[in-house]
């Protein structure tokens, strides 16, 4: 896991400025504190910050072969198998990122279809004078690009482009509406004017300061439900899950996993225990509120059952108020999911022992675990409705103007997901895999872990697992009102103590309760922030924080608090100065 960035300038531009390259390296240092490297050829510059995971001795980047230079953020899990297919190639390193470079020389841009992993990659081909940028099909690893004076700039995080002055700090209003209504933003355009995401599976070919073409690998399996019975599905699933977890454990440094007590993480720890002779190191976060105890107890019981070493941390309100400005600051591409709070604290604790953690993101999308899918799969005359039809600020009368275009990105995802043959359930899953997964869950995992130089791996987001599970019949995904039915059946057989069919006890962040307790103090501070005052009536913001009665009131207040801190850091350019109250009070 690393941070990458670069400049692709036009032929008439001055050469890349060394001071700018130095700033890019500095701004991405947290992603790769182990070493830094760069390569400048003509008007193209590539920079790399390394978090050393595989090949600790010779794996520094950039990597060179023939006329090509590569930098990569991520892991190529099938690098050993790829090496075996390239007889006659002389490898200079044992790095997992070198096989893609030789595949590129042999196969061109089609080489990415052979990769099994998470990655954002830049390859400079000197003879053709092109730079190819690409991102993995699930969108696990980020990459951003911006048109700048004299050409293009790219980076693993938008803040690197902003902090170096390559792109001005300016909010795109349509994306702000999405953030407030949905908690994330959709599509290629980010919340920053002039900065775009590479979409999951997208490849861009660039030359002379311009994007020449774009292409994509589809990450969602195509076609309707397969004809397969339960026993065959379970056998195929077991094989795919074991193979994926085995690949995701490839590392030359210690690794562990995040254990919540839910179905996804229980399945992961069961497989890790099967594949490891030494005890698995599992990290669990909990909160100092009574309703959080059930999930912690279940996680501890699961860890004991598989002989894991279990490290639990308790997060209290004081810790959150103290560190929330730092947590929000790491979310430069904003996702106002309050799960960033436990994820950030877990990563901070895990970094004391490991550099790599496996996590269960993607399980709910691949196996149909979200409760909203039950409604989406029903026809309208039976109470069915599309997902994301209600925004957080609908009918609250807090914002200065009513959001109108906030659902346009979701509508585009619905059109793209509605492939002929897909069931309503599979279409709902595909919608989430287009935007919710890469632009909310995976983005949050990446930023919160990389803030502490920890690599997050997601074994459910693997081509083999997706092929085994996504096109299963609806009845093997959802049954008796329960999603992830086939994964629950697998877990019931392989780790029954996890009680996969027991009612979910919940793992929720009590942020609404905390905000309510501090509402009279927080409300005026949030309302006075320039970013919030621009979009909301200050008196109504104060009233919202003062009188939180329902969950949706607390969630709306959380989003305004998040946006106030985010805007202060990434638009005004002001760093955190102490706890949340000190930061919001600062001039």
Read off the pLDDT band of 378 (50, 70, 90). Answer: confident
Residue keyed to tokens 């005004």: 572
The helix (run of H) or strand (run of E) holding residue 283 is strand 281-287
Q: What is the DSSP letter of 542?
A: H
Residue 506, pLDDT > 60, answer no
CA distances to 31, 91, 155, 340, 378 from 97, in Å: 17, 11, 18, 29, 45
Residue 288, pLDDT > 90, answer no
Q: What is the pLDDT of residue 421?
A: 87
**In the chain, % of residues over pLDDT 90:** 89
Task: Report pLDDT digits (tens) over 474-492.
Answer: 999 999 889 999 999 999 9
**In the chain, % of residues over pLDDT 70:** 98
Mean pLDDT across the stretch 38-65?
A: 96
- Report yes or no: 30 and 450 within 8 Å, Cβ to Cβ: yes
Residue 125, pLDDT > 70, answer yes
Task: Indicate the fold that domain 230-393+402-498 takes in CATH.
Answer: Rossmann fold (3.40.50)
Q: What is the pLDDT of residue 379?
A: 73
CB atoms within 10 A of CB 334: 31
Read off the pLDDT band of 566 (50, 70, 90). Answer: very high
**Spatial separation of the C-alpha atoms in residues 422 and 242, rounded to whole Å:** 27
Task: Report pLDDT digits (tens) over 388-415.
Answer: 999 999 999 999 999 999 999 999 999 9
Rg of the Cα atoms in the chain: 23
Residue 554, pLDDT > 60, answer yes
Q: What is the pLDDT of residue 507?
A: 55
Q: What is the pLDDT of residue 6?
A: 98
Q: What is the pLDDT of residue 66?
A: 94
Residue 509 tokens read as 């962040």
- Report yes or no: 544 and 556 within 8 Å, Cβ to Cβ: yes
User: Half-sphere exposure of residue 125, counting CA atoms within 13 Å on the CB side?
Assistant: 16
Residue 121, pLDDT > 80, answer yes
Residue 562, pLDDT > 70, answer yes
Cis peptide bond prior to 573, omega within 30° of 0: no
Task: Catalytic residue, from 2, 72, 97, 330: name it.
Answer: 2
Residue 168, pLDDT > 90, answer yes
Q: N- to C-terminal Cα distance for the chain? A: 36
Residue keyed to tokens 């629950």: 488
Q: What is the pLDDT of residue 291?
A: 66
**Spatial separation of the C-alpha atoms in residues 429 and 221, rounded to whole Å:** 11
Q: What is the pLDDT of residue 245?
A: 98
3-state secondary structure of 4: strand
Residue 114, pLDDT > 70, answer yes
Residue 496, pLDDT > 70, answer yes
CB atoms within 10 A of CB 366: 27
Q: Where are the domains of the chain?
A: 2-216, 230-393+402-498, 511-585
Does 3.60.20.10 match the CATH number of domain 2-216?
yes
- Report yes or no: 193 and 126 within 8 Å, Cβ to Cβ: no
Q: What is the pTM of this model?
A: 0.97
3-state secondary structure of 301: helix
Mean pLDDT across the stretch 434-463?
A: 98
Read off the pLDDT band of 224 (50, 70, 90). Answer: very high
- Mean pLDDT, the chain, whole residue set: 95
The answer to whether residue 2 is catalytic is yes
Residue 531, pLDDT > 80, answer yes
CB atoms within 10 A of CB 361: 25
Cis peptide bond prior to 62, omega within 30° of 0: yes
Residue 50, pLDDT > 70, answer yes
């Amino acid at each position: 896991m690393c941070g990458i960035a670069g400049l692709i300038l036009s032929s008439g531009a001055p050469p890349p400025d060394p001071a700018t390259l130095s700033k890019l390296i500095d701004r991405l240092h947290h992603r790769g504190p182990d070493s830094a490297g760069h390569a400048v050829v003509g008007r193209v510059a590539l920079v790399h910050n390394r978090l050393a995971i595989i090949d600790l001795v010779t794996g520094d980047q950039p990597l060179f072969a023939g006329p090509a230079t590569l930098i990569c953020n991520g892991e190529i899990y099938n690098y050993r198998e790829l090496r075996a297919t390239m007889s006659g190639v002389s490898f200079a390193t044992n790095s997992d990122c070198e096989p893609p470079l030789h595949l590129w020389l042999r196969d061109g841009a089609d080489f990415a279809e052979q990769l099994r992993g998470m990655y954002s990659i830049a390859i400079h081909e000197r003879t053709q004078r092109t730079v190819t940028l690409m991102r993995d099909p699930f969108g696990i690893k980020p990459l951003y690009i911006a048109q700048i004076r004299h050409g293009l700039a790219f980076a693993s995080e938008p803040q690197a482009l902003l902090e170096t002055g390559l792109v001005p700090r300016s909010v795109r209003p349509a994306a702000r509406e999405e953030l407030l209504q949905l908690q994330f933003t959709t599509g290629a355009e980010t919340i920053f004017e002039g900065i775009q995401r590479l979409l999951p599976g997208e490849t861009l070919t660039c030359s002379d300061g311009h994007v020449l073409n774009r292409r994509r690998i589809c990450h969602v399996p195509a076609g309707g439900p397969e004809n397969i019975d339960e026993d065959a599905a379970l056998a195929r699933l077991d094989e795919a899950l074991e193979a994926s977890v085995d690949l995701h454990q490839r590392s030359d440094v210690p690794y562990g996993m995040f254990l919540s007590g839910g179905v996804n993480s229980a399945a992961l720890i069961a497989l890790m225990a099967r594949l490891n002779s030494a005890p698995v190191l599992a990290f669990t976060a909990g909160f100092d509120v009574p309703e959080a105890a059930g999930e912690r107890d279940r996680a501890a019981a699961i860890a004991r059952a598989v002989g894991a070493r279990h490290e639990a941390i308790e997060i209290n309100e004081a810790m959150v108020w103290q560190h929330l400005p730092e947590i929000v600051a790491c979310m430069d591409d904003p996702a106002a999911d309050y799960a960033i709070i436990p994820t950030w604290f877990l990563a901070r604790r895990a970094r004391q022992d490991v550099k790599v953690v496996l996590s269960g993101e993607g399980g709910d999308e691949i196996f149909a675990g979200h409760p909203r899918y039950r409604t989406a799969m029903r026809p309208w005359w039976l109470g069915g409705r599309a997902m994301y039809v209600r925004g957080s600020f609908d009918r609250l009368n807090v914002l200065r103007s009513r959001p109108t275009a906030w659902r346009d990105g979701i509508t585009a995802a619905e059109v793209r997901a509605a492939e002929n043959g897909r069931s309503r359930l599979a279409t709902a899953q595909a919608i989430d895999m287009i935007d919710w997964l890469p632009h909310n869950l995976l983005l949050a995992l990446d930023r919160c872990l990389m803030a502490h130089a920890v690599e997050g791996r997601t074994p459910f987001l693997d081509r083999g697992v997706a092929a085994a599970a996504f096109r299963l019949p609806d009845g093997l995904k959802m049954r008796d009102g329960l999603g992830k039915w086939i994964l629950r059946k697998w877990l019931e057989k392989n780790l029954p103590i996890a009680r996969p069919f027991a009612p979910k006890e919940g793992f929720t962040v009590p942020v609404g309760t905390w905000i309510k307790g501090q509402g009279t103090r927080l409300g005026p501070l949030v309302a006075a922030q320039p970013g919030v005052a621009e979009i909301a009536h200050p008196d109504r913001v104060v009233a919202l924080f003062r009188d939180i009665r329902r969950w949706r009131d607390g969630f709306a207040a959380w989003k305004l608090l998040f946006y106030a801190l985010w805007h202060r850091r990434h638009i005004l350019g002001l760093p955190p100065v102490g706890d949340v109250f000190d930061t919001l009070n600062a001039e």
